[in-house]
Amino acid sequence: MTVDPSYPYWVRQLHSPPNPKSKFASQIQDPPGFTSTTTGKRATVAKQQARKPPTPEETDILKVKKSWEVALAPAKQLPMNAIMMYMSGNSLQIFSIMMVFMLFKNPVQSLLQINQAFARYETPRTRSKMWLVKAVYVLMNLVALALGIWKVNGMGLLP
């Protein structure tokens, strides 16, 4: 392919094929971690080692692990909520009232939607393990509600 000589050097170089490796360059080994695309043996080995699909047991184990992550998510939010409640103060202001409202709203909403939260992880084989996961999820949301009650008490709104 010929390129017009009026084009800049880099354009002509871009459209011309690369120079073949010299004898000296072919004796130099590739750096560690570099895989050359020109070697036919490595490319065929990579194609032969295709990843096998996961078995149903492996899929169920993964679903249970993911459901545990969902169940423990409210516990990961507790320190953040506790610091926010502490920093918002105990006076009755719109900011602290809205923070307490959100602290009550989110756990109640999570408790009402517990089956929807775990629907994608529940299969006939994992159903026996899911009751403990759901119990931990409920417990963590109840702890978040207890944090809200502590804040409301600190604000002087509880008798």
The angle that helices 127-154 and 56-88 make with each other, rounded to 10 degrees, is: 0
Q: Give residue 159's pLDDT.
A: 79
Averaged pLDDT, groups of 10, the chain, 159 residues long: 79 76 72 70 59 87 94 94 90 89 94 94 90 96 94 88
Q: Give residue 43's pLDDT.
A: 52
Q: Give residue 41's pLDDT.
A: 54
Q: Give residue 148's pLDDT.
A: 93
Which residue from 120, 147, 101, 16 is spatially nearest to 63, judged by alpha carbons?
A: 120
* Residue 79 CB neighbours (<10 A): 9
pTM of the model: 0.66
Q: Give residue 11's pLDDT.
A: 82
Q: Can you say whether residue 28 is alpha, beta or left, with left for phi > 0 and alpha for psi between -120 and 50 degrees?
A: beta
Q: Convert 45-112 into a string of H (helix), E (strand) and C (coil).
A: HHHHCCCCCCCHHHHHHHHHHHHHHHHHHHHHHHHHHHHHHHHHCCCCCHHHHHHHHHHHHHHHHHHH
Place of tokens 């994608």: 120
